Structure 1
């Protein structure tokens, strides 16, 4: 019988050089086995070189970004002032109302796939989105179609889970919200031949003791249990979770992830 598998994925690679360096150091220490990369960021091409000599088994994914950063393409309706893309709350409202410039968003998604390939010479092992924007109405279809076209062998992040599993973990409110927006994603992915993780965790308040809260993320895992994390270092203007990134990184450097995973019936390896 195949044992359930833990994927511990660090999001936001390339958001800043200190974040990227921290993530890569943790991967070399065997504390992570997946890295999700923001190819939209100015430092992406240079930071991608840090990925060249990772240990075998580390999955490299694309963290599609439709919020908070300057786009790679011209988006006169989506970013009318020529600045950064909208934050997740107004984007969610616009998506629920069906009020999005989908042609512009489709072009931006394709551009971020191309930027990933130019820097790495390959397509991603998995695809997700910053702040889970990929599950929103309208964007979801564009996202799934783009993955099927550009990286059909990649798996995608399903932010939902069984209610019994969510209830067993901390910060249920956040997890329920993610699951609500993600409902139906797995079915739509399967219709395009795309795989997903089986269960999902990692929500917390970004203030708690990460080393203490982490084992609770492992309760009621599925066959492929995905936990998101956000380790990092340095200071970045507007980064509201900068302090949490430091705490997560410090905890992960200390934690024996494989041993913790084993205690919950999960295999973990880079």
Structure 2
């Protein structure tokens, strides 16, 4: 009999709002998530972080490093002169032109790690980036250096958001976005492994966040052509006024949460002989 393949499902944006965080906790309590990535620069983090800590035994808890939403945790006069982060399009342009103020970014990396660890009283199991900023040139090097300085090599895993061409083609849906992120991620996997960090192999979960689309049908494509350490990102949660004031992705979070809590998820996994697992427990050295 063929061995079951492990797949990890990670909910992003924990801490973004009360509704988003409560929704993620519901999916976590239901055993439908194996990783959670936390935004720590907002006002919801301390209280919701303590709630997450009470449930952390069942999932990998990680830092969702953020440079594009809300306010930095300290002064960034060149990167965020108005006191709020710039849009991701501007961050990408600066990164590709080598124009990022790296001293400010390195300081913000440390501040976000410190705030994660102060609330959870533990180091992160993994690290990724809001809107995939962690893979951008300059930022990736600073992040890897910060993680190595904290002796996270050999312990924490990193999200490789750039999947292989044949896997992207096999899934079909949202290929343009997946290819764009793959381009920005070029070299990230090798750089992480040289530093002693494990990464996922296989990545899916891209969405256009259109409320009229069938999320269950989209999720079925995420399970196609899985890698050996397959990772699926998702964005579940409840919609509240706090979320609406910060982020355009709203209704689809409810749809994703409803799917995760439904019988359809375990049915899909069983059909494909897959089971949920934590990448921290899936052989970190083999990446």
Please state which band the TM-score falls in when normalised by the shorter chain: over 0.9
User: 5+ unaligned residues in a row in structure 2: which ranges?
Assistant: 279-287
Cα gap change, 1:149/1:255 in structure 2, threshold over 3 Å: closer, same or farther? farther
- 1:18-167 matches, cutoff 5 A: 18-54=19-55, 56-81=57-82, 83-150=83-150, 151-152=152-153, 153-167=155-169
- 1:221-236 matches, cutoff 5 A: 221-233=226-238, 234-235=240-241, 236=243
Give the equivalent residue in structure 1 for 2:215: 210
Contact 1:148 1:194 in 2 (8 A): no
The 2-side partners of 1:18 and 1:113 are apart by 24
Contact 2:259 2:265 in 1 (8 A): no
The 2-side partners of 1:41 and 1:115 are apart by 11
Offset at 1:265?
3.5
Moved >4 Å (runs of 4+): none
Range with greater deviation from structure 2 (203-212 or 251-260): 251-260
The 2-side partners of 1:57 and 1:126 are apart by 14
User: 5+ unaligned residues in a row in structure 1: which ranges?
Assistant: none
- Deviation track 1:129-182 (CA, whole Å, cap 9, x = no partner) reads 100001111111011112222232100000011111101111110111111111
Question: What is the DSSP-based 3-state SS (H/G/I as helix, E as strand, rest coil) of the residue aligned with 2:43?
Answer: coil
- Deviation track 1:185-215 (CA, whole Å, cap 9, x = no partner) reads 1100111000000010001211121112111
The 2-side partners of 1:91 and 1:31 are apart by 33
Q: TM-score scaled by structure 1?
A: 0.95
Offset at 1:57?
3.0
CA RMSD after TM alignment: 1.5
Cα gap change, 1:250/1:5 in structure 2, threshold over 3 Å: closer, same or farther? same
Is 1:15 aligned to 2:16, yes or no? yes
